[in-house]
Amino acid sequence: MFETKRLHPAAIIFNLIKTVREFLFAIILGFITFRDESLVYFVLIVAGLLVIFITGNVLTWYRYTYRVEDNELRIEYGVFIRKKRYISKNRIQSIDLTSGVIHRILKLTKVQIETAGTGMSAEASLSAVKLAEGEALRQELKTGRTQQADKGDIAEESAEPIYPSDTICFKRLFIAGTTSGGIGVIMALAVAAFSELEQFIPDSFYDNTVEWVIGLGFIFMIVLTVFLLLLLWLLGIAGTMIKYGNFTITKNDQELLITRGLLEKKQLTIPLRRIQAVGIQESMIRQPLGYVTVFAEIAGGSMDKGEDFSSILFPIMKRDEVEEFLGTFLPEYSGIQSELTPLPKRARKFYLMRSMIPFLLIVAAVGIFFPTFIWAPLILLLVGGLVLGWLRHKDGGFSLEGTRLTIRHRVLSRNTIMMYHKRIQAFEKKQHKLQKVQQMASMRLSIVGKMGAGTHFTIKDLEETHTDELSDWYSLRSQGSN
């Protein structure tokens, strides 16, 4: 793959869609503003802009070329100002292939290349190339040097190595969907979408509809609410199954390769050397059922990956299967510590008070606007706040084993994080006056996270002696180092 190539012509369509999406808010705002007597002029302006966008995207596609030469990916682009970008193979950290619905219909893929210096976006992004070409490009860029083999070498070649891999079955995928909590996200999106669409609904139609719904009676409204919640729950299940369908994780020599997605197929590459920590997450729903999610904190990455670069290594598995999974794919993180040093009992009151604050705010809001229903948030306060505070205190703790530190904490989900001394960038001890009186302190650990920014883990109200012990371990004072 040394000859100069262009992207597939479908890249023109993808770039046009991206451009229109960026101007969509302005177009809608213009339509609302000029929808009366000036609508014709607005349509002409939009049509003119569309012609300019199409022309610009065609020229951009024509002037965009790439090739692999001298162990470099060389990209040239720019309509009026010609730019050249050379990316050495040695700097490439990951190469991901993503195929949306249109990509898969046309047998195309999107190639995203990231380096150690990647920031807000990928170092290079080829929006549309043939699938076979994208896979060949990834293989070429992953090869550190051109392989030259003579007949003797070919004769001595051994069989292809067999790499470990794992998949997720349909039953587990369905359980992941039913316990994902995606209903909350979908509900928030639905409320936001309705609030935006409300301004386009005629006032008379809106008022008549509300009066009609209220007139149907209290029982009907309950049934309708249950139906909508059930619909949102089913949509959450469908979203999870579409996102993680055909999930496969494979370990190569120095990287993990994750493939997932029913509609949009993604192939994510995670270099092992960029893994900063490995975590086990147990949500409120999954924990009683014995299911967990295994994830990793990855150094670097870009905004293009979104949540993917705080990578989920496996969406759902039984808690007793985690040890075998880590032993296969990340053996340095196997040997999970089940017994951790717990938080002191006298710290419980602080956890209870902190957990009650959000519920107190709910009580205040309901008491002001809906004083008749003040009993409902009071029950939430007593039950939800106390239970959540008790769980946060109960689950908090840490364990030291040589150069590896395991910590456990809870916001809503319980997270167990395993990291090595060399991955921790900073250690901070905090202590307010009440903690000082109680001989307790909080610690904050920082590792390199997405886009090179810090990812932080905090455990509050540890024994002060334990915080000092961890501080000595981090600074190597416990080993007698200067």
SS3 content of the chain, % helix, strand, coil (to 5): 50, 30, 20
Looking at the structure, do residues 295 and 442 belong to the same domain, yes or no?
yes
162, pLDDT greater than 90 = no
Looking at the structure, do residues 294 and 352 belong to the same domain, yes or no?
no
Distance between CA atoms of residues 109 and 83, nearest Å: 24
68, pLDDT greater than 50 = yes
Looking at the structure, do residues 280 and 235 belong to the same domain, yes or no?
no
> Contacts by 129-137 with C-beta closer than 8 Å and gap 24+?
129/5, 129/7, 129/8, 130/8, 131/97, 131/99, 131/107, 133/1, 133/5, 134/97, 134/108, 134/109, 134/110, 135/97, 135/109, 136/1, 137/1, 137/68, 137/95, 137/111
CATH number at residue 137: 2.30.29
- How does residue 338 score in pLDDT terms, banded at 50, 70 and 90? confident
pLDDT at 296: 93
- How does residue 155 score in pLDDT terms, banded at 50, 70 and 90? very low
Cα distances (angstroms) measured from residue 87 to each of 61, 96, 123, 367: 20, 15, 8, 60
pLDDT at 145: 42
How many other C-beta atoms are found inside a 10 Å radius of the C-beta of residue 441?
A: 23
Looking at the structure, do residues 132 and 42 belong to the same domain, yes or no?
yes
> Of the residues 212, 244, 276, which one is the last residue of a structural domain?
244
- How many independent structural domains does the chain possess? 4
8, pLDDT greater than 60 = yes
158, pLDDT greater than 50 = no
Looking at the structure, do residues 237 and 127 belong to the same domain, yes or no?
no
Let me know if residue 360 belongs to a domain.
yes
pLDDT tens by residue, 269-294:
888 888 999 999 999 889 999 999 99
Average pLDDT along the chain: 81
Let me know if residue 121 belongs to a domain.
yes
Looking at the structure, do residues 219 and 361 belong to the same domain, yes or no?
no
Let me know if residue 271 belongs to a domain.
yes
Distance between CA atoms of residues 467 and 461, nearest Å: 9
pLDDT at 150: 40
Looking at the structure, do residues 411 and 437 belong to the same domain, yes or no?
yes
Distance between CA atoms of residues 281 and 273, nearest Å: 22
439, pLDDT greater than 90 = yes
- How does residue 121 score in pLDDT terms, banded at 50, 70 and 90? low
Which residue type does 77 have? Answer: Y
**What is the chain's Cα-based Rg?**
27
Tell which residue, 8, 94, 479, 46, has the closest CA to residue 266.
Answer: 94
Let me know if residue 151 belongs to a domain.
no
DSSP, collapsed to helix, strand or coil, labels residue 391 as helix
What is the pTM (predicted TM-score) of this model?
A: 0.76
Let me know if residue 153 belongs to a domain.
no
> Of the residues 229, 244, 259, which one is the last residue of a structural domain?
244
**Domain span at residue 352?**
345-393
Looking at the structure, do residues 97 and 211 belong to the same domain, yes or no?
no
Q: What percent of the chain has pLDDT above 90?
A: 37
Looking at the structure, do residues 458 and 389 belong to the same domain, yes or no?
no
Average pLDDT over residues 70-84: 89
> Of the residues 208, 224, 244, which one is the last residue of a structural domain?
244
Looking at the structure, do residues 257 and 405 belong to the same domain, yes or no?
yes
Let me know if residue 162 belongs to a domain.
no
Looking at the structure, do residues 331 and 227 belong to the same domain, yes or no?
no
Let me know if residue 12 belongs to a domain.
yes
Residue 158 contacts by C-beta under 8 Å, 6 or more apart in sequence? none
- How does residue 185 score in pLDDT terms, banded at 50, 70 and 90? low
Let me know if residue 93 belongs to a domain.
yes
pLDDT tens by residue, 205-252:
666 666 666 666 667 767 777 888 788 788 878 888 888 988 999 998
- How does residue 481 score in pLDDT terms, banded at 50, 70 and 90? very low
Looking at the structure, do residues 130 and 265 belong to the same domain, yes or no?
no
Q: Where is pLDDT greater, at 178 or 35?
A: 178
Q: What is the DSSP secondary-structure string of 207-241?
A: HHHHHHHHHT-HHHHHHHHHHHHHHHHHHHHHHHH
